[in-house]
Amino acid sequence: MRDQPKAFDLLEWYDVHARKMPWRIGPADRAAGVMPDPYRIWMSEIMLQQTTVAAVKDYFLRFTKRWPTVSDLAAAEDADVMGAWAGLGYYARARNLLKCARYVVDECDGEFPGTYDELLKLPGVGPYTAGAVSAIAYDQASVVVDGNVERVMSRLFDIHTPLPTAKPELTERAAALTPSERPGDYAQAVMDLGATICTPKNPACGICPWRAPCKARLAGTAAELPKKTPKKPKPIRYGTAYIARRVDGAFLLETRPDKGLLGGMLGWPGSEWVEDDPPHHDMPIKAEWKTLNTEARHTFTHFHLRLKVMTALVPMDRAPKVGEFKEVDDFRPSDLPTVMRKAFDLTKGSDAD
């Protein structure tokens, strides 16, 4: 029985079992000298933050077809990018995507920096993304630690310190295993191992390339790791969304402020989201408002949201106090963030539809 896990064993497994992804250059092609496009790796990593591979694939393909280079993305209209991102969540990522693309074009001559330290200077790029891009795109021996890697390391070394307290120790363990040869393939191999073998529930220890040195498997504790500090219950916030439709079919919409939740996204005018009853506020347009007998519900990272939905049908000559009317041919519900689309879907069959 081997005492220490070896990167070679994992890479040997990865050469056979690497997941196929639209942004990934497989191990055989990399061995032949084909290197990934840093732009595609960066975009995939931004999209994958707090999101699953399955959810990201279609978005990635649409983005890279519409904006195949960082220069194309940098030249895009903000509203087009925000609309294309709608439904993927965590909308600050979309704003940072544009900021970073424009920085790369304006300050880096359209080329992504090739080192961890330089990548870390880019807008919206933190230690994880800088590590992933430098390792995967440039084959540097950078440490890449996502949720999958944390789980693998906690089990491999039987670490019972709960997350997030354990993160420095898990990162140190991951750094010690990162090889100088094929570090890009290795970074992807550890993530693949966590996603397909060392899964949160029912890990397939019997076919794991690191089963022999895995301390948690030997101790019988793999299923309970990694441990996590219990989360506090999420509070509930309440608000109101106003969906006004003009008699010609146009909808009253507003672009939300850049800062804050759903920043820069298209949405319905409405109240603030608060933990008590929504404060009194002016309607966005004078109309006979009707309240739907159901509400739009959505969960964000830190709270649950319950939106009262009010609808109105307004004449052509009525001017709004907030937002502007968007012609029916220019309005795509798919451009709305998920919570706004949920509110819209509730209007089906109402006077606002």
Residue ranges of E strands in 233-322: 236-246, 251-255, 266-267, 290-299, 304-314
Distance CA 340, CA 336 (A): 6
255, burial (CB in 10 Å: exposed 0-12, middle 13-18, buried 19+): middle
45 has catalytic annotation: yes
Beta bridge partners of 267: 254
320, burial (CB in 10 Å: exposed 0-12, middle 13-18, buried 19+): buried
Please tell me which residue in 45, 150, 254, 295 is annotated as part of the active site: 45
The reply to whether omega before 164 is within 30° of 0 (cis) is: yes
Distance CA 260, CA 138 (A): 34
Residue 20, phi then psi, degrees to nearest 5: -90, 125
Q: Show the tokens assigned to 293.
A: 């007998």
Task: Provide the angle, in degrees to the nearest 10, between the axes of the packed helices 147-156 and 183-196.
Answer: 80
Q: Which residues are catalytic?
A: 45
